[in-house]
Amino acid sequence: MSTILVTGGAGFIGSAVIRQLIAETDVTVINVDKLTYAGNLQSLISVADNPRYCFEHVDICDTATVANLFHKHQPDAVMHLAAESHVDRSITGPAAFIETNIIGTYTLLQAARKYWNELSTERKNTFRFHHISTDEVYGSLGEAGFFTENTAYQPNSPYSASKASSDHLVRAWYHTFGLPVVTTNCSNNYGPYHFPEKLIPLIILNACNGKPLPIYGKGDNIRDWLYVDDHARALRLVLERGRVGETYNIGGWNEKSNLEVVHAICTILDELRPQDAPYASLITYVPDRPGHDHRYAIDAGKVAHELGWKPLETFETGLRKTVNWYLTNPDWVDAVISGEYKNWIQQNYSDRGAS
């Protein structure tokens, strides 16, 4: 039985990874999370009492505490997901992105390196540092072509620049210090427990509440959507079988314009929760995001051919599951929208240092 230290495990993707690891493997999971506005332990209620799950309320920028975590838990691997993740927030307030995504990754790499250097040869050989990153580091595509693992980095937002920077640090710690790393760059995820500042959950919840459905610019920007549990499966495969020092791109082969995505959500809601007017009548065009990347599309051939990964959900099945989840989980939704989940964390986790 092995131990994986997952950073950012209270977030959208990290919590999906942890729920899968606890349900489908025998590993012990140490969830290291600062619990920013995006971190929500209510997404982990199903695993909270499992003896193979442990929560550590820690900021990855805190050098001493991060070093102690390695000594205390003796992990066999790190899955590093902790990050500031929202592009719009990186435009209005980039500082937290520089702190967590760059300094935090550096802090974690240094702690992992020191710990790894002191392991036995056998454990040194099997240890992995898995850095979870984004396709946004590659910049923006025109109408044709795909991002491959060899595409040059051209990040355009403070968010993607901070993630690109962290990717470069991880690469350097491999080449210079020999730390056994793997990196994955994934396209847009969607699914349950997604914080409703991101397009898909925002549109579902605004529609249900009769609010405008904001479309940036003309709505013709294209994203490559992947169901979050498919991403989590890919991450587990790369961690188990990916080649050290390699990068794997992960994507859904599933390009949609934002307008197509919003219409697809409206159509499902028209069927599941019909109203007098179609939900699409709430669509409202708003000013564009500054520096808005036009198109992302991943060539996921390497992870498919080398590791045999392919997504299980189509966009149609995944989106329907997602809309259904938001309709049938009003407690999670209400707590997030009201901010009540922060009080819940205070009440339930104050003994573990959470506030």
The residues that are catalytic are 135-136, 159
Least separation in angstroms between residue 215's CB and ligand DAU is 5
Q: Does 235 bind ligand DAU (CB under 6 A)?
A: no
Partner in contact with 289, chosen from ligand DAU, ligand NAD, none, beta carbon below 5 to 8 Å by kind? ligand DAU
Q: Give the span between the Cα atoms of 224 and 207, in whole angstroms.
A: 23
Per-residue interface string for the shown chain with ligand DAU, residues 241-280, x marking contact by CB under 6 A:
-----------------x----------------------
Per-residue interface string for the shown chain with ligand DAU, residues 282-311, x marking contact by CB under 6 A:
-------x------x---------------
Nearest of 255, 281, 244, 279 to residue 265 by alpha carbon: 279
- Length of the chain, please? 355
Helix (H, G, I), strand (E, B), or coil: what is residue 183? strand
Backbone angles phi, psi at 191, to 5 degrees: 150, -170
Tell me which of 33, 56, 135, 229 binds ligand DAU, using CB under 6 A. 135
Helix (H) or strand (E) holding 222: strand 222-227
Partner in contact with 36, chosen from ligand DAU, ligand NAD, none, beta carbon below 5 to 8 Å by kind? ligand NAD
Least separation in angstroms between residue 12's CB and ligand DAU is 9
Q: How many CB atoms lie within 10 A of CB 267?
A: 15
Nearest of 160, 186, 199, 324 to residue 252 by alpha carbon: 186
What number of CA atoms fall less than 13 Å from residue 74's CA on the CB side?
Answer: 6
Contact by Cβ (8 Å): 100, 83: yes
- Who contacts 297 (Cβ-Cβ below 8 Å, separation ≥6)? 141, 145, 146, 147, 187, 222, 224, 251, 255
Least separation in angstroms between residue 93's CB and ligand NAD is 13
Least separation in angstroms between residue 133's CB and ligand DAU is 8
Partner in contact with 10, chosen from ligand NAD, ligand DAU, none, beta carbon below 5 to 8 Å by kind? ligand NAD
Tell me which of 28, 43, 85, 254 binds ligand DAU, using CB under 6 A. 85
Q: Does 86 bind ligand DAU (CB under 6 A)?
A: yes
Least separation in angstroms between residue 86's CB and ligand NAD is 7
Q: DSSP letters along 117-151, please?
A: HTS-HHHHHH-EEEEEEEGGGG----SS--B-TTS
Partner in contact with 79, chosen from ligand NAD, ligand DAU, none, beta carbon below 5 to 8 Å by kind? none
Q: Does 81 bind ligand DAU (CB under 6 A)?
A: no
Nearest of 212, 235, 189, 275 to residue 6 by alpha carbon: 235
Give the distance, in angstroms, between the CA of residue 346 and the centroid of all CA atoms in the same chain: 24
Partner in contact with 107, chosen from ligand NAD, ligand DAU, none, beta carbon below 5 to 8 Å by kind? none
Partner in contact with 38, chosen from ligand DAU, ligand NAD, none, beta carbon below 5 to 8 Å by kind? ligand NAD
Q: Give the span between the Cα atoms of 171 and 163, in whole angstroms.
A: 12
Binding site for ligand NAD (CB under 6 A): 7-8, 10-14, 33-36, 38-39, 59-61, 81-85, 100, 104, 132-134, 163, 186, 188-189, 195
For ligand DAU, the closer CB: 250 or 354: 250
Per-residue interface string for the shown chain with ligand DAU, residues 203-222, x marking contact by CB under 6 A:
-----------xxx----x-
Burial class (CB within 10 angstroms; exposed 0-12, middle 13-18, buried 19+) of 177: middle
- The partner residues of 134 in beta bridges, in order of sequence, read 186
Backbone angles phi, psi at 227, to 5 degrees: -70, 135
Number of residues that bind ligand DAU (CB under 6 A): 19
Interface residues with ligand DAU (CB under 6 A) are 85-87, 134-136, 187-188, 198-199, 202, 214-216, 221, 223, 258, 289, 296
